[in-house]
Amino acid sequence: MTRKGPVGGKQQLHKRMSWRLVWQLVQRVAVGQLTEEMAGKLLNVGRSRVNKLKQKWLKIRGQEPSPDWLYGREGSGRNALSQAVRAYVEEEIRYYREESPFFRGHINFAFLAQQCQRRYGQRIHRNTIRRWAIGQGLYEPGVDKVGKPYIRFEKNGIGMLFQHDSSTHVWLPHTGAHSDLIMTEDDHSRKVVGWLLVEQETAWDHLTQVRTTLETVGCPLAYYVDNHLIFKHPDDIETQFVRALRTQQVDVKFTAKRYPEAKGKIEKRFDYFQRRIPLLCERYRTKSLAEANRILTDEVAYYNAYHLHDETKETPNKRWARAIQENRTYLRPLTNTGTLDLVFAIHHKRYVDNCGRIQYQGRSYAAPGAALRRKITVAIRPPTGPRRPHTELYILNDAGREMVHYVIVEKTGGKTLPSETAPRPML
């Protein structure tokens, strides 16, 4: 349905005509140089509207005209903002208009309203800030820039379904490079339960994020993903993502092909964070993913606690808590937590030769206890930080238990040599 304007389908006056032109016409009416009837024809409004404009003009005559005189509500905006908020908003708008290297001219009033609440504890509607900015000449509609998807279903409890996806974007503007945000959202509450910014998404990154999510909130009944190769192989070969989740009795559901909009909730969430994270990373000159992830964590916490959803009329945290109170939760704890390092690793098949050894990346490793001339599973864990700085290789038995563990140490000079730990007994 097409949305019409207030009178006969016309747009509002301030959207059809320059405020300066209307000011000049009303001024001529007020001093008797133009009749109200003629002014009404020129403005395409009724005489009562012309008379109201004239009365407003008479109240402020002698003052310097401002862009908001035509449609600003009297007393709105100015009195609603404290002096500290006004100073902060003015500083930020001037920054984004004049200094910002990546978002110059782009004013996000919803983001500014959110920042005001976080800094000063004052909840302000974005339009209040917008009207104040117009009144101060900081923002001119039509010149400055301001910055819908398919609804598929609504689950009736938390943990019934987690929507999971990634978004490629210039999250850190000062790097000039694209990076990937991996995110998971509970379908019922809209709570963001998992998040991770990485340079370029891999199956290992998704496994890392999923493991953290399940350890934090528990296992849902199912994950809902698209047909990306990380999630679904075109030849129906089980992917690392599906394998790891199914060991925890978590099902994986896929969108219909060529219908990515079916994941509308998670796509909306990416849009929400795309309007905030790059602004913050640019404002604080963030260039490292570690710092960007700290900013992201802070923003996710704010979203979950304070973002009032248009449909549910609740914040994600409140909706989550209410579902728990009403016993509408389907979350389960992780199983076999002692083997999670093996479950959430990258699995490969390798052939055991006549000497009881396997090959991996051009090097040979002993597989004690493994049957000769048959394939076995190896689990690879890439480096994860200072505590585990090296690639680790596990040889697994048929039950998925560790038989032997290798640490692949990078030696000076670019050579990679295996450092074998003592073989461990089969469990």
> What CATH number did the domain enclosing 169 receive?
3.30.420.10
Q: Per-residue pLDDT tens for 196-241?
A: 999 999 999 999 999 999 999 999 999 999 989 999 988 888 999 9
Q: Per-residue pLDDT tens for 407-417?
A: 998 764 444 44
Q: What mean pLDDT is reported for the chain?
A: 84
Q: How far apart are CA 251 and CA 240, in angstroms?
A: 13
Q: Per-residue pLDDT tens for 261-290?
A: 556 788 899 999 999 999 999 999 999 999
Structural domain boundaries, residue 130: 83-146
**3-class state of residue 39 by DSSP:** helix
Q: Per-residue pLDDT tens for 76-92?
A: 444 568 888 999 999 99
Question: Does the residue 332 lie in any domain?
Answer: no
| pLDDT at position 417 | 47
Nearest to 65 by CA among 132, 19, 34, 25: 19
| Long-range CB pairs of 360-363, under 8 A, 24+ apart, other chains included | 360/393, 361/416, 363/416, 363/418
Instruction: Verify that 242 and 309 share a domain, yes or no.
Output: yes
CB 376 within 8 A of CB 349: yes
Instruction: Verify that 298 and 357 share a domain, yes or no.
Output: no
Q: How far apart are CA 29 and CA 43, in angstroms?
A: 12
Question: Does the residue 394 lie in any domain?
Answer: yes
Nearest to 330 by CA among 164, 225, 217: 217
Question: Does the residue 156 lie in any domain?
Answer: no
Q: What is the mean pLDDT of residues 137-154?
A: 58
Question: Does the residue 208 lie in any domain?
Answer: yes
Q: How far apart are CA 363 and CA 405, in angstroms?
A: 15
**Within 13 Å, how many C-alpha atoms sit on residue 365's CB side?**
30
Q: What is the mean pLDDT of residues 7-18?
A: 61
| pLDDT at position 130 | 87
Asked if pLDDT for residue 174 goes beyond 70, the answer is yes
| pLDDT at position 154 | 64
Instruction: Verify that 254 and 381 share a domain, yes or no.
Output: no
Phi and psi at 278, nearest 5°, equal -60, -35
Q: Per-residue pLDDT tens for 90-115?
A: 999 888 888 888 888 788 889 999 99
Lowest mean pLDDT among 54-68, 69-83, 334-348: 69-83
**Within 13 Å, how many C-alpha atoms sit on residue 328's CB side?**
15
Q: What is the mean pLDDT of residues 390-411?
A: 89
Instruction: Verify that 311 and 388 share a domain, yes or no.
Output: no
| pLDDT at position 221 | 93
Asked if pLDDT for residue 251 goes beyond 70, the answer is yes
Phi and psi at 97, nearest 5°, equal -85, -35
- Number of compact structural domains in the chain: 4
Asked if pLDDT for residue 136 goes beyond 70, the answer is yes
Q: Which residues contact 404 (CB under 8 A, 6 or more apart)?
A: 365, 366, 367, 368, 369, 394, 395, 420, 421, 423, 424
Instruction: Verify that 180 and 260 share a domain, yes or no.
Output: yes
Asked if pLDDT for residue 75 goes beyond 50, the answer is no
Question: Does the residue 127 lie in any domain?
Answer: yes
Instruction: Verify that 105 and 133 share a domain, yes or no.
Output: yes
Asked if pLDDT for residue 372 goes beyond 50, the answer is yes
| pLDDT at position 419 | 47
Which residue bears the tokens 């379904």?
A: 161
| pLDDT at position 285 | 95
CA-based torsion, 226, 380, 290, 316: positive or negative: positive
Instruction: Verify that 379 and 352 share a domain, yes or no.
Output: yes
Q: Which residues contact 43 (CB under 8 A, 6 or more apart)?
A: 13, 17, 22, 25, 49, 50
Nearest to 167 by CA among 299, 268, 302: 268
Question: Does the residue 106 lie in any domain?
Answer: yes
Token digits of residue 173: 């503007």
Instruction: Verify that 89 and 129 share a domain, yes or no.
Output: yes
β-strand partners of 348: 378
